[in-house]
Amino acid sequence: MTQQGAVLQGYNNELVKCIEDLWMQKEELNKQILQAEEEKNKLQHEIQVLSEQLECVCENLAQKVASRNELDKILAETEAAYMKILDSSRTLLNVLKKEVGSLKHSPDLKTN
């Protein structure tokens, strides 16, 4: 019977060692879980910060695009008006040249 007791004691010692090993594995896994949760929280915070920055950049970009579109419209209208002015100036110059040309041939303007 003593031999069976010794065998039983050996099994018990092995069982206790296995249980202790499992507890150590659990503690190590808990440490890893805490580190992963901290990393996850850190990344979520960074994502939130980056999302807010992205929102600001998108709003700023939209305002700049709207301003550029308005400038494009103003430039197109201004260039069209300027072309009309040039056309009118050319027409006025042609009319003026004709008038001056016809005045030169007028007998009243000839000098002695």
**pTM of this structure:** 0.59
How far is the CA of 104 from the CAs of 54, 70, 90, 91, 97, in angstroms? 73, 50, 21, 20, 11
CB 81 within 8 A of CB 89: no
Averaged pLDDT in 10-residue chunks for the chain of 112 residues? 86 96 98 98 98 98 98 98 98 94 73 52
